A and B are shown apart, each in its own frame.
Chain A
C-alpha cells in the first residue's frame, strides 16, 4: 500500500485565500521533495527539504519538514489561478522503496475565480 499519504486529495480554493496540503509517513524520512504538475503537463520539481524542522519559502509557497521528519506541509497564501495543478510530495528513506523516491497520491488544487 501507499507509504506516503497526502491530504486532502482535492482542494477547492477561492482565489485569494490560503490553503495547506499535508504529506505524512509512518516512517522517518531522509528527505522530502515537492513537485507540481499542471493539468495536462508533467511534474516539475519545486523544493527539497532535508533537515528536521526545515522551512523554505518560494514567493507565496511555504514548505515545512516536520521535527520528527515524518511529515511535511505546503502552504500557499493568496491563491492565484496559476496555482492550479496537482502537488506531489516524494520521499526517500522508505525502506521498502530502496534508494529511490516514493510519490504520494497528490493534492489536486482547483481555484475558483
Chain B
C-alpha cells in the first residue's frame, strides 16, 4: 500500500544534540512538507519541497534544516539552535490533486 512513513515514532534528545527525523513516501508525490504541532495547537509549516533538490523555508524554519536528494525522501534535522524542539512533527506529501495532503503518522520529539 502506498503511504508516508515517519520514523521513529518517539524520539528523545538531549539538549545540544542534533537529531534527524525520517520521512519516506512511495506515493510518487512531488511535493513534501514538514509541520510542527504543539499540544492543543494547529499546524505550523517548517519547510517544504516541491521538487527534488529544491526546498523552501516555511513560517518557522529557524533551527531546522532539510534535504531533498530523492523524490521519496525528505528528512528533517532539528538542530541544537532550535530552542524549544519538544513537539509533534508531521510530514506530508501532495500529489496531482492540489492541496490534498497525505500525512505520515508523526514523530513525537522530547528534549530531556
Q: Mark B20-62, 1 if CB is under 8 A from A, else 0.
A: 0000000000000101000011110100100000000010000
Decide if A108 touches B40 in the complex (CB within 8 Å).
yes
Give Cα distance in the complex from A31 to B104, angstroms.
Answer: 23
- List the A residue with the shortest CB-CB distance to B92: A43
Q: Does B75 contact A (CB under 8 A)?
A: no
Of A35, A45, A100, A105, the most chain B CB neighbours within 10 A belong to: A100
In the complex, chain A residues whose CB is within 8 Å of the CB of B100: 33, 45, 48
Decide if B42 touches A103 in the complex (CB within 8 Å).
yes
- With an 8 Å Cβ cutoff, the count of chain B residues facing the other chain is 21
Give Cα distance in the complex from A45 to B58, angstroms.
Answer: 21
Could you list some 11 contacts between A and B, CB below 8 A?
A33-B101, A41-B105, A42-B106, A43-B92, A43-B101, A45-B101, A48-B100, A92-B98, A100-B45, A103-B35, A106-B41
The minimal Cβ–Cβ distance linking B81 to chain A, given in whole angstroms, is 24
Give Cα distance in the complex from A75 to B33, angstroms.
Answer: 29
A-side interface size class:
20 to 34
In the complex, chain B residues whose CB is within 8 Å of the CB of A31: 99
What total count of A-B pairs have CB within 8 Å? Answer: 45
Decide if B42 touches A43 in the complex (CB within 8 Å).
no
Decide if B103 touches A92 in the complex (CB within 8 Å).
no
Residues of A within 8 A of B (CB): 2, 31, 33, 35, 41-45, 48, 88, 90, 92, 100-101, 103-106, 108
Contact of B48 among A88, A100, A103 (CB under 8 A): A100
Decide if A103 touches B103 in the complex (CB within 8 Å).
no
In the complex, chain A residues whose CB is within 8 Å of the CB of B41: 105-106
Give Cα distance in the complex from A33 to B102, angstroms.
Answer: 12
In the complex, chain B residues whose CB is within 8 Å of the CB of A43: 43, 90, 92, 101, 103
